[in-house]
Amino acid sequence: MATTADGKGGHGHASRRDILMVAATGAAAVGAAYAAWPLINSMNPSADVLALASTEVDLAPIQEGQSITVQWRGKPVFVRHRTKDEIAKAAADDKAGLPDVQADAARVKKAEWLILVGVCTHLGCIPLGQKATEGRGDFGGWFCPCHGSHYDTSGRIRKGPAPRNLEVPQYTFLDDKRIRIG
């Protein structure tokens, strides 16, 4: 029951109208946030994009020293069959003052197979070094030509603007010569 026409309700108490105002504004704000969320969330990956989440790779044809690129979730994945030298070099560099410290052993499941997301952690270019004819940078791994990041034979960042090592995707060995990425 409104006692005053000016809506002040008198005597320093909150009037019913004040309470209605606060409650309605609050409800409208919460409602607006709820209504905005589906619009924002619709821009996240859709179900079909999420469904393409795993890829199988046959390792048998990859010779020692060779690298192949497969596509997983629209991104390249590097699968490198490392040589003894490359493995030794990667392990030796574990204590070489790495920008993003990680032991080589923690980045592989089997030392000869190095599996990496082939996307530079700087701004997303694809580093060179998959073919022996491409420059592999100062550390024998990969070199990103976009802004000059050098990765070593464990895919760790050694020099340049990239902040992190090349990402190791989730993968499992299905048997000795087959992996599933994702």
Q: Is 117 in the site for ligand FES (CB under 6 A)?
A: no
Q: Is 149 in the site for ligand FES (CB under 6 A)?
A: yes
Q: Is 125 in the site for ligand FES (CB under 6 A)?
A: yes
Q: Is 165 in the site for ligand FES (CB under 6 A)?
A: no
Nearest-5° Cα angle at 70, 69 to 75: 100
For the chain, how are helix, strand and coil distributed in percent, rounded to 5?
25, 25, 50
Instruction: State which of residues 128, 161, 167, 182 lies at the interface with ligand FES (CB under 6 A).
Output: 161
Q: Tokens 């204590």 identify what position?
A: 95
| Residues 64-103: x where in contact with ligand FES by CB under 6 A, - otherwise, as a string | ----------------------------------------
Say if residues 89 and 153 touch (Cβ distance below 8 Å).
yes
Task: Take residue 113 and report the two structure tokens written for it.
Answer: 């197979």
**Could you tell me the smallest distance in angstroms from the CB atom of residue 47 to another protein?**
12
**Could you tell me the smallest distance in angstroms from the CB atom of residue 122 to another protein?**
6
147 part of the active site? yes
Separation CA 112–CA 108 (nearest Å): 8
Q: Which residues belong to the active site?
A: 147
